């Protein structure tokens, strides 16, 4: 039995989806290794397979797993399951801090359940704002709700800290820590360098597409369901008609994404539709690609750090830093606009070179240690 020193801070870290797990494993590692903390992990299981992929590679065995995921879950039923489930665990654990990350339903319910018990909330990746409550949906509002409740706001950049100050969050509660995604990316890159077998599953696709320029694709945003997803699929088909290009698309497990992509994109020579890649394989995709085409939040942060241009299939972004630095560009979901922007990058070397600069506005890889120090204060 582990001995817990008196004066240690009990932390319950709550997460449930793939991106939260990726961005929180560096903090969980830091808390586990630090005698100032008694660290507990509560996973909601909002995602199942995609969460478990991260837990496995990061070596995290949760203390609590609510296993809430249901097929094609609605936001309201999911929220109800999360709020009651997380609340019951917090009643048993009674931590000093609840840590949540980002903007998911799990993060919002984790913060709310803590607030209902007057437990202090630490929000990681605080202060991102698009200014539009329907883009990203429902994440913009989730983030604002958490921002209202949190006692400690770990803002990744000065821009996100300024957004919190503009909403009258007490300045002393805001700390610019960088984004833990860069910690995660460094960790996985080092691990893969030591153990190349971790990325062996991509070898077949890489051999099939040898000599072609690779475009990595991900897509899952709720606000893109329907017409947006169809625009993305049509653009991919047109791009795949080029001999010199191949597209690697690990398809999100959300059935609203899979139905359209499987229907529209299966069977093309230059398109590899894959199951979700685990983090080592996804880091490999980031490494071998010429550019990323995505509506993901996390990929907007990772690709610039690796000097890969990222075309963002959204109307707005709560991560303007990459766009301002010129390494990311908003292209929306219109088929013609996507094809035009990708074609420009593929055919115009100077346009490509202008975007393909390693630029790291989101952190230096030491964010988890900074956050641990803040939690220990």
Residue 65's contacts (CB-CB under 8 Å, 6 or more residues apart) are 43, 45
Are 130 and 316 within 8 A, CB to CB?
A: yes
Taking the complex as a whole, how short is the minimal distance between the CB of residue 122 and ligand UD1, in angstroms?
19
- Binders of ligand UDP in range 1-20 (CB under 6 A): 18-19
Catalytic residue among 175, 222, 230, 238: 222
Q: What is the DSSP string of 191-248?
A: HHHH-GGGGGGGHHHHHHTTTSEEEEEE---GGGTTHHHHHHHHHHHHHHTSTTEEEE
Among 50, 217, 271, 283, binds ligand UD1 (CB under 6 A): 50
- Between residues 87 and 276, which has the closer beta carbon with respect to ligand UDP? 276
Backbone angles phi, psi at 329, to 5 degrees: -145, 135
Determine whether 47 is an active site residue: no
By CB under 6 A, tell whether 319 contacts ligand UDP. Answer: no
Binders of ligand UD1 among 236-275, rule CB under 6 A? 253-255
Q: Which residues pair with 10 in a beta bridge?
A: 38
Q: How far is the CB of 105 from ligand UD1 (least distance, A)?
A: 4
- Interface residue with ligand UD1 among 10, 48, 230, 237 (CB under 6 A) is 48
> Does 19 participate in binding ligand UD1 (rule CB under 6 A)?
yes
- In the complex, minimum distance from the CB of residue 221 to ligand UD1, in angstroms, rounded to a whole number: 7
From candidates 125, 140, 223, 302, binder to ligand UDP by CB under 6 A: 302
Ramachandran assignment for 271, one of left (phi > 0), alpha (psi -120 to 50 degrees), beta (any other):
beta
Q: Does the annotation count 186 as an active-site position?
A: no
Q: Is 296 in the site for ligand UDP (CB under 6 A)?
A: yes
Q: Which of residues 139-168 bind ligand UD1 (CB under 6 A)?
A: 139
- Respond yes or no: is residue 117 known to be catalytic: no
How much helix, strand and coil, in percent to the nearest 5, is found in the chain?
A: 50, 15, 35
Q: Based on the residue annotation, tell me whether 103 is a catalytic residue of this protein.
A: yes
Catalytic site includes residue 222: yes
Query: Which residue is listed with tokens 């903090």?
Result: 27
Q: In the beta sheet, which residues pair with residue 272? A: 248
Q: CA–CA separation, 243 vs 235, rounded Å?
A: 15
73 interacts with ligand UD1 by CB under 6 A: yes
Inter-residue contact 15 to 43 (CB < 8 Å): yes
Smallest distance, Å, CB 262 to ligand UD1? 14
Instruction: Out of 69, 198, 245, 371, point to the residue binding ligand UD1 (CB under 6 A).
Output: 69
Provide the minimum distance between the beta carbon of 257 and ligand UD1 in the complex, in angstroms, as a whole number. Answer: 8
- Distance in Å, CB of 282 to ligand UDP, minimum: 4
CB 307 within 8 A of CB 331: no
- What is the DSSP code string of 61-116? --SEE-----TT--HHHHHHHHHHHHHHHHHHH--SEEEEETTSHHHHHHHHHHHH
Which one of residues 69, 235, 299, 306 is an interface residue with ligand UDP (CB under 6 A)? 299
139 noted as active-site residue? yes
**Where on the chain is the footprint of ligand UD1 (CB under 6 A)?**
17-19, 46-50, 69-73, 75, 78, 103-105, 138-139, 220, 253-255
């Amino acid at each position: 039995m582990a001995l817990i020193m008196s004066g240690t801070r009990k932390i319950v870290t709550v997460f449930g989806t793939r991106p939260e797990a990726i961005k929180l494993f560096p903090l969980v590692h830091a808390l586990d290794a630090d005698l100032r903390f008694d660290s507990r992990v509560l996973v909601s299981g909002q995602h199942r397979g995609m969460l478990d992929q991260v837990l496995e590679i990061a070596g995290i065995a949760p203390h609590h797993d609510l296993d809430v995921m249901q097929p094609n879950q609605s936001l309201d039923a999911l929220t109800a399951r999360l709020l009651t489930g997380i609340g019951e665990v917090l009643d048993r654990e009674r931590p000093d801090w609840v840590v949540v990350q980002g903007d998911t339903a799990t993060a919002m319910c984790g913060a709310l359940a803590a607030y209902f018990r007057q437990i202090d909330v630490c929000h990681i990746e605080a202060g991102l704002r698009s200014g539009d409550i329907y883009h990203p949906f429902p994440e913009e509002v989730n983030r604002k709700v958490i921002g209202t409740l949190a006692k400690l706001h770990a803002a990744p950049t000065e821009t996100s800290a300024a957004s919190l100050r503009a909403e009258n969050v007490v300045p002393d509660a805001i700390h610019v820590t960088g984004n833990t995604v860069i910690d995660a990316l460094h960790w996985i890159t080092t691990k893969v360098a030591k153990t190349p077998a971790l990325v062996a599953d991509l070898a077949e696709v890489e051999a099939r597409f040898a000599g072609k320029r690779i475009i990595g694709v991900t897509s899952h945003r709720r606000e893109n369901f329907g017409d947006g997803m169809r625009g993305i699929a049509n653009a991919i088909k047109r791009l795949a008609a080029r001999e010199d290009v191949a597209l690697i698309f690990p398809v999100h497990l959300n059935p609203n994404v899979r139905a359209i992509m499987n229907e529209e994109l299966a069977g093309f020579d230059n398109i590899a539709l894959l199951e979700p890649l685990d983090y080592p394989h996804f880091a490999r995709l980031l490494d071998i690609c010429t550019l990323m085409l995505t509506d993901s939040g996390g990929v907007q942060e990772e690709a610039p750090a690796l000097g890969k241009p990222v075309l963002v299939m959204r109307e707005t972004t709560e991560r303007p830093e990459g766009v301002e630095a010129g390494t990311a560009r908003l292209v929306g979901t219109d088929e013609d606009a996507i094809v035009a922007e990708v074609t420009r990058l593929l055919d115009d070397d100077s346009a490509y070179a202008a975007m393909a600069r390693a630029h790291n506005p989101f952190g230096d890889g030491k964010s988890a240690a900074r956050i641990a120090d803040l939690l220990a204060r």
